Amino acid sequence: METEKILAIIGYILAILFPLIGVIYGLILYFAKGDDEYVKKHAKYIIIVGVVMMFISVIVVSILGVSMLGMAAMS
Protein backbone atom coordinates (compact mmCIF):
# COMPACT_ATOMS: atom_id res chain seq x y z
CA MET A 1 0.00 0.00 0.00
CA GLU A 2 2.93 2.32 0.65
CA THR A 3 4.09 2.09 -2.98
CA GLU A 4 0.62 2.97 -4.23
CA LYS A 5 0.53 6.09 -2.05
CA ILE A 6 3.90 7.20 -3.38
CA LEU A 7 2.76 6.63 -6.98
CA ALA A 8 -0.37 8.74 -6.33
CA ILE A 9 1.60 11.58 -4.70
CA ILE A 10 4.07 11.66 -7.60
CA GLY A 11 1.13 11.76 -10.02
CA TYR A 12 -0.53 14.71 -8.29
CA ILE A 13 2.75 16.64 -8.18
CA LEU A 14 3.32 16.02 -11.88
CA ALA A 15 -0.28 16.94 -12.73
CA ILE A 16 0.07 20.28 -10.96
CA LEU A 17 3.57 21.24 -12.08
CA PHE A 18 3.66 19.59 -15.54
CA PRO A 19 0.04 18.93 -16.58
CA LEU A 20 0.72 17.07 -19.82
CA ILE A 21 3.21 14.75 -18.16
CA GLY A 22 0.76 14.31 -15.28
CA VAL A 23 -2.03 13.26 -17.64
CA ILE A 24 0.26 10.77 -19.37
CA TYR A 25 1.41 9.44 -15.97
CA GLY A 26 -2.22 9.09 -14.88
CA LEU A 27 -3.09 7.17 -18.04
CA ILE A 28 -0.14 4.85 -17.53
CA LEU A 29 -1.17 4.25 -13.91
CA TYR A 30 -4.77 3.64 -14.92
CA PHE A 31 -3.97 1.02 -17.54
CA ALA A 32 -0.85 -0.55 -15.98
CA LYS A 33 -2.28 -0.93 -12.47
CA GLY A 34 -5.87 -1.60 -13.50
CA ASP A 35 -6.36 -4.37 -10.94
CA ASP A 36 -5.70 -2.10 -7.93
CA GLU A 37 -8.78 0.00 -7.14
CA TYR A 38 -6.84 2.51 -5.01
CA VAL A 39 -4.41 3.31 -7.83
CA LYS A 40 -7.17 3.28 -10.45
CA LYS A 41 -9.22 5.80 -8.44
CA HIS A 42 -6.28 8.15 -7.96
CA ALA A 43 -5.21 7.74 -11.59
CA LYS A 44 -8.61 9.15 -12.64
CA TYR A 45 -8.17 12.08 -10.26
CA ILE A 46 -4.62 12.70 -11.52
CA ILE A 47 -5.91 12.85 -15.09
CA ILE A 48 -8.67 15.27 -14.08
CA VAL A 49 -6.23 17.52 -12.18
CA GLY A 50 -3.84 17.51 -15.14
CA VAL A 51 -6.55 18.48 -17.62
CA VAL A 52 -7.85 21.24 -15.33
CA MET A 53 -4.32 22.58 -14.86
CA MET A 54 -3.82 22.60 -18.65
CA PHE A 55 -6.98 24.69 -19.09
CA ILE A 56 -5.94 27.06 -16.31
CA SER A 57 -2.48 27.51 -17.82
CA VAL A 58 -3.93 28.20 -21.28
CA ILE A 59 -6.28 30.81 -19.81
CA VAL A 60 -3.50 32.48 -17.81
CA VAL A 61 -1.13 32.55 -20.78
CA SER A 62 -3.91 33.98 -22.99
CA ILE A 63 -4.70 36.72 -20.49
CA LEU A 64 -1.06 37.60 -20.03
CA GLY A 65 -0.50 37.60 -23.79
CA VAL A 66 -3.39 39.96 -24.40
CA SER A 67 -2.23 42.13 -21.52
CA MET A 68 1.30 42.32 -22.92
CA LEU A 69 -0.04 43.21 -26.38
CA GLY A 70 -2.09 46.00 -24.86
CA MET A 71 0.91 47.34 -23.01
CA ALA A 72 3.03 47.26 -26.18
CA ALA A 73 0.37 49.16 -28.11
CA MET A 74 0.25 51.88 -25.46
CA SER A 75 3.97 52.60 -25.63
Rounded Cα distance, 53 and 37, in Å = 24
Other CB atoms closer than 10 Å to residue 15's CB: what's the count?
26
Other CB atoms closer than 10 Å to residue 66's CB: what's the count?
10
pTM: 0.84
Q: pLDDT band at 72, cuts 50/70/90?
A: low
pLDDT tens, position by position, 3-62: 889 999 999 999 999 999 999 999 999 998 778 899 999 999 999 999 999 999 999 988
Other CB atoms closer than 10 Å to residue 40's CB: what's the count?
14
Sign of the C-alpha dihedral computed for residues 38, 46, 10 and 29 taken in this order: positive
* Spatial CB neighbours of 12, under 8 Å, sequence gap ≥ 6: 22, 42, 45, 46, 49
